[in-house]
Amino acid sequence: MSRSDQQSNGGETQLSRRKLLEFLSASPMLAPGAVAFVAGFLGGSSSALAQSYDVLRQAPVLDGDLIANPAQALNVFDFELVAKKVLPPAHYGYLASGVDGDETLKANRDGFEKIAIRARRLIDVRKIDTTVKIFGETWGSPIALAPISSQGAFHPEAEGAVARACKAKNHQMILSTVGSTSIEDVIKERGSPVWYMLYPTDDWAVTEALVKRAEKAGAPAIVLTVDRQGGRNTETLFRERRGDTRTCTDCHTPGFKNEVSRKPMFDDLDVSKVTNLYGTGMTWDYVKRLRGVVKGKLVLKGIVTQEDAKKALDYGVDALIVSNHGGRAEESLQSTIGVLPEIVGAVNGKVPVLIDGGFRRGTDVIKALALGATAVCVGRPYAWGLAAFGQPGVEMVLTIMQREFETIMRQVGATKIAEINGTSVSRV
């Protein structure tokens, strides 16, 4: 067959395919997704079908509603179902619990429903830039990982797996004082410095030693948690623990020394005088004293009022994290996204304002940025991914949230973070 004959037959074939697809598209018996499916088998495409959904995008789930691997996840909530199945009841309860009736935990999520997104059209958003710069460091995404304690309770590789996931997906993370992995090992796994969240204890010598160790390891920011002063009633944890048949005292025994015996940040420290991890009695004078010790950046985590935000500036704080400990600090019924505007207004651009509490979707992230947040810290979702599948689970959680965030960025017509502002959202 000559080249001209081949071209002629090829053109006729394409025309026949097009006519068939046009006929199928007009048929009330076939859904658009099915048409796209047929188009794929025919080896052709139609511009009219270019954005049709791929009905084969997700493989069948084999274990009821549970995904069998990270690639099957449609959203971050899919990982929670697996985490609940694989974790001991007490460990899952610790991760899931808020305080009292979990109403503030719920309020964090409900707060996003009070904010609508304003979509813009006819803007070229084929190329977008999601980088943000904080303290001179460029992050690949405004989505960072919040500190979560005792991650060895969720997966044997603990924070090491999380750090490797952050390295692979280019996200920043904050390590908890009572993490299952040392800051030196976490920085090694991530390949670059991480922030360090400080539980102050009630022994200044221990507090100072923790700060010096973190900064020596390379932590550019010390994040003092200030929202755990009044104690808490974690009913969901207590309820789940009733169904745990293990002997919990095999790992958990009374006394602070025993409590931190498996927490590497306390290795070689004399904790005999410590009675409380959270520094009950801490005041603004404590912040002043800590400011005199911290050589790098000092961040306060747990600020939820404009009064405290303004006062933090007076004490030389370099950034704030709007947080109610993921609904685990107090049963205030106040969402973090709800108080964010007053914090942003109080600091008036003088320091970065980060936020955590209930972030599960890319749309949640863009709402916070539109209201003035510099970055967003995600907690439970990556712990679900860690519990379910280890490092690959954490990576997929980050992939999903970043993908959702980039999608909604394009819908609001933003090609870079600076273009996300108050005009991107409205109150419902």
Amino acid symbol at 98? G
Backbone angles phi, psi at 286, to 5 degrees: -65, -40
The count of C-alpha atoms lying within 13 angstroms of the C-alpha of 180, restricted to the half-sphere facing its C-beta, is 15
Instruction: List the catalytic residue out of 91, 155, 171, 325.
Output: 325
Tell me the backbone φ, ψ of residue 140, rounded to 5 degrees: -70, -20
pLDDT of residue 397: 98
CATH 3.20.20.70-classified regions of the chain: 73-427
DSSP letter for 209, please: H
DSSP 20-88: HHHHHHH-TTS-HHHHHHHHHHHT---GGGTT---TTSSPPPSBTTB-SSGGG-SSTHHHHHHHHHHS-
Give the DSSP per-residue string, 348-414. Answer: TTSS-EEEESS--SHHHHHHHHHTT-SEEEE-HHHHHHHHHHSHHHHHHHHHHHHHHHHHHHHHTT-
* Closest-CA residue to 87 (of 157, 153, 151, 150): 153
Res 127: pLDDT: 97
**Contacts with 243 (C-beta within 8 Å, 6 or more apart), sequence order:** 89
User: For 73-427, which CATH class?
Assistant: alpha beta
- From the list 152, 134, 153, 154, the residue with the least C-alpha distance to 143 is 134
- Closest to 229 in 3D by CA, of 151, 143, 330: 330
DSSP secondary-structure letter at 19? H
- Tokens read off for 261: 């015996």
Query: Phi and psi of 105, rounded to 5°?
Result: -55, -45
Tell me the Ramachandran region of residue 136: left when phi exceeds 0, alpha when psi lies from -120 to 50, beta otherwise.
left
> What's the rounded Cα separation, in Å, for the pair 100 and 260?
26
| Letter string b/e over residues 34-61, b meaning 16 or more CB atoms within 10 A of that residue's CB | ebbbbbeebebebeebeebeeeeeeeee
Specify the pLDDT at position 12: 53
- Residue 56's alpha-carbon distances to 40, 52, 53, in angstroms, are 11, 12, 9
Query: What are the distances in angstroms from CA 246 to CA 188, 237, 243, 252?
Result: 34, 15, 9, 12
pLDDT of the residue at 164: 98
Q: Under a CB-based contact definition with an 8 Å cutoff, are residues 385 and 408 in contact?
A: no
Does the annotation mark 252 as catalytic?
Answer: no
Q: For residue 6, with 0-12 CB atoms within 10 Å meaning exposed, 13-18 middle and 19 or more buried, which class applies?
A: exposed
Q: What pLDDT, on the 0 to 100 scale, is given for residue 10?
A: 47
User: If we measure between CA atoms, which residue out of 85, 51, 56 comes closest to residue 72?
Assistant: 56
Q: In what order do the strands lie in the sheet with 221-225?
A: 143-145, 375-378, 353-356, 319-322, 297-303, 221-225, 195-198, 174-176
* Confidence (pLDDT) at 53: 57
Going residue by residue through the chain, which has 428 residues, state the pLDDT in tens, using 9 for 90 and above.
544 444 445 445 455 555 554 555 455 445 444 444 444 444 444 334 444 556 666 666 667 789 999 999 999 999 999 999 999 999 999 999 999 999 999 999 999 999 999 999 999 999 999 999 999 999 999 999 999 999 999 999 999 999 999 999 999 999 999 999 999 999 999 999 999 999 999 999 999 999 999 999 999 999 999 998 878 899 999 999 899 988 888 788 878 888 888 899 999 999 999 988 887 789 999 999 999 999 999 999 999 999 999 999 999 999 999 999 999 999 999 999 999 999 999 999 999 999 999 999 999 999 999 999 999 999 999 999 999 999 999 999 999 999 999 999 999 999 999 999 999 999 99
